[in-house]
Amino acid sequence: MSQPIDTMRHSTAHVMAAAVKRLFPEAKFGVGPVVENGFYYDIDIGRAVTPEDVKAIDAEMKRIVKENPAFVREEMPIDEAVKRFKAMGQTYKVELLSDLKKKGTTKISAEESTDVDPANVKTVSVYQTGDFVDLCRGPHVEKAKEIGVWKLNKVAGAYWRGKQENPQMQRIYGLCFATKDELANYETMMAEAEKRDHRKLGKELELFSIIDEVGPGLPLFYPKGAVLRRTLENFVTDMQEKRGYAPIWIPHITKGRLYEMSGHLQKYDAMYPPMQLKDEDAYYLKPMNCPHFMMLYKTQPHSYRELPVRWTCTTTNYRYEKSGELSGLTRVRSLTQDDCHVFAMPSQIEGEINLMLDMVDEAYRVFGFKDFWVRVSTHDPADKKKYIGDMKVWEASEAALKRLIAGRGWKHEIGVGEAAFYGPKLDFMAKDVIGREWQLSTVQLDMNLPERFELEYVDADGSKKRPVVIHRAILGSTERFLGILIEHYAGAFPVWLAPVQVIVLSVAERHADYAAKLVQDLVDAGLRAEADVSNESVGKKIRNAERMKVPYALVVGDKEAGGGDLTVRRRGEKDQSSMSKDAFLVRVSQEDRERVTFQ
């Protein structure tokens, strides 16, 4: 009988641990959860795990699968489990059990949750696989031959329970899929992803750098990268302003009192420490823009006649993300948001969100994200303390979002517990060209912050009413979106996004002046162009242009300098063509204007 893939992956982690136990009888085990595309297990064998060890573990796993032992479950009182694992010398498991036994202790990490059930701490379950016994709540396959196809692919150090003061263990990762073809397809995708790694391409294409002296998670952008991000942000700005959104500007620091009003000081855990100033309140680097928008709205009187008020601001926030979670541009500490807040009457919610959904749809078509779905992120009824506001307001807001997204006919799922602390949201999940999924745009419906900030508008009958606020970001974070786009296009950007759209290559030194004039003509036509008039051979210049992934290269020699047609090389094509300068300008300007994509 076919087993769910997560069950197979969890069972494979147990088979791997059983193999480790056979090879290293004194080994101690931490946790072994399922992760995306596979599993890992934290082990302690008293030293680092070597590549030779991994080969031996893999071979032993194959022997265990051939023996085909059953996965046998046994329930027991927690005290009995403590004695049993203590007798086996499994100190990490004993620590988990002891923590669970303490009165009121149900705080365990996501990784540990595969091993114990915090809702039931009187009894625990163990699974035996051959000679190996593990603390685990399951489920598992029935027999070892049902675990699927696996491959041990990585070893890393990991502190026990993620704390630096604890012992360092060895984390062995593995992939697991139901079939060989699925594993092969995944490995092909990962090989392609490695070639597209935005950190590697960012350096090669001179886009950005992260410098130790500046700080982790704080990227700096070279001219080409700055042009790329400006082009991206201008695209969103133009799209918004055509639909009646107005720009505002807000500062990057604020008094702590503002975040007391919003609830961020109480609920948000990624804020930098306060800046204590003499004879003044403490100031914070802003992690969010919402409170600034609220306060600016509050400084002016508003009538129902002027609603909705649509304000946008592309601005940088600062969040103290853990250093181990930082990754190139996709997880940073300084993130720039194309932030928008719409202040509206309840009767305008549907129209305003649909306007936002139209923009999201347009953006994804332009960038080539054809495969996406929407997570309707709601509150967790089992943990209401995480959220502010009346639960009836939450239920009404969530119902509105569900209705709107269903009306679009877009694929969607409910994400219980994924909401922001002040309101439910729509999170857009899109796949890139090699099938990886990313979270991109967000639309949040907020009926709570307007109450906390006492926002008002005067209705038609003269009474004062509370507006609703709709938060929206299409890119989400410029930095993160750039990282995704670099990998989506493998650095080969379409003309409209390319930092350098055309490069002019001189054949000889005598052609340098004409190359410079041609570049100026291109720039005057609104294109981004530069020249390579170095002493290198034409062949090397062409290879450099291809390496830098410039969409068009113009080779200029005696014919071109004498007024003849241009020699045009298009990225990725071996053959070159000839066309007049005017025809070339028309072609590239049209591709730029219409945002034509070619790779």
Model confidence pLDDT, tens digit, residues 356-368: 999 999 999 999 8
The residue among 110 and 151 whose pLDDT is bigger is: 151
The β-bridge relationship of strands 283-285 and 220-221 is: unpaired
Q: Indicate the residue type of 45.
A: I
Q: What is the pLDDT of residue 432?
A: 84
Closest to 418 (Cα-Cα) out of 407, 430, 428: 428
291/267 Cα distance (integer angstroms): 14
The residues of the chain that CATH labels 3.30.980.10 are 5-194
334/216 Cα distance (integer angstroms): 10
Average pLDDT over residues 122-133: 89
Q: What is the pLDDT of residue 2?
A: 66
Share of the chain above pLDDT 90, in %: 69
The residues of the chain that CATH labels 3.30.930.10 are 202-488
Q: Annotated active-site positions, please?
A: 290, 319, 337, 339, 341, 425, 471
pLDDT for residue 106 is more than 60 = no
What's the DSSP call for residue 141? -
The β-bridge relationship of strands 502-506 and 529-532 is: parallel
Which of 122-131, 516-525, 588-597 has maximum average pLDDT? 516-525
Residue pointed to by tokens 């940073």: 332
Residue pointed to by tokens 């919003």: 262
Confidence of residue 108 (pLDDT cuts 50, 70, 90): very low
Going by C-beta distance under 8 Å and a sequence separation of 6 or more, which residues neighbour residue 75? 123, 124, 125
Binding positions for Zn(2+) are: 290, 341, 471
350/343 Cα distance (integer angstroms): 13
Closest to 271 (Cα-Cα) out of 280, 282, 439, 295: 282
- Give the CATH number of domain 5-194: 3.30.980.10
145 within 8 A of 130, measured Cβ to Cβ: no
Q: Domain 502-594: state its class.
A: alpha beta
pLDDT for residue 103 is more than 60 = no
Confidence of residue 110 (pLDDT cuts 50, 70, 90): very low
520/527 Cα distance (integer angstroms): 9
151 within 8 A of 183, measured Cβ to Cβ: yes
Enumerate the H helices of 409-463 as residue ranges.
449-452
Closest to 170 (Cα-Cα) out of 275, 60, 30: 30
458/451 Cα distance (integer angstroms): 15
393/108 Cα distance (integer angstroms): 31
Confidence of residue 114 (pLDDT cuts 50, 70, 90): very low
124 within 8 A of 143, measured Cβ to Cβ: no
Model confidence pLDDT, tens digit, residues 174-209: 999 999 999 999 999 888 888 999 999 999 999 999
How many Cβ atoms sit within 10 Å of the Cβ of residue 223? 11
Taking the CA atoms of residue 46, residue 49, residue 52 and residue 56 in that order, the dihedral angle to the nearest 10 degrees is: 80
Model confidence pLDDT, tens digit, residues 232-268: 999 999 999 999 999 999 999 999 999 988 888 877 7
Backbone angles phi, psi at 390, to 5 degrees: -75, 130
Q: What is the pLDDT of residue 382?
A: 80
Superfamily classification of domain 202-488: Bira Bifunctional Protein; Domain 2 (3.30.930.10)
Global confidence as pTM: 0.80
Model confidence pLDDT, tens digit, residues 20-46: 999 999 999 999 999 989 999 999 999
Model confidence pLDDT, tens digit, residues 468-486: 999 999 998 999 999 999 9
Confidence of residue 3 (pLDDT cuts 50, 70, 90): confident
pLDDT for residue 599 is more than 70 = no
Q: What is the pLDDT of residue 121?
A: 61
129/67 Cα distance (integer angstroms): 11
Closest to 277 (Cα-Cα) out of 260, 295, 255, 251: 255
Largest Cα span, the chain: 93
pLDDT for residue 118 is more than 60 = no
The residues of the chain that CATH labels 3.40.50.800 are 502-594
Q: What is the pLDDT of residue 570?
A: 94
The β-bridge relationship of strands 38-44 and 71-77 is: unpaired
Q: What is the pLDDT of residue 390?
A: 73
Average of per-residue pLDDT values in the chain? 90
- Grouping H, G, I as helix, E, B as strand and the rest as coil, residue 508 is coil
433/435 Cα distance (integer angstroms): 6
Q: Indicate the residue type of 119.
A: A
Average pLDDT over residues 281-292: 92
Closest to 358 (Cα-Cα) out of 244, 468, 487: 244
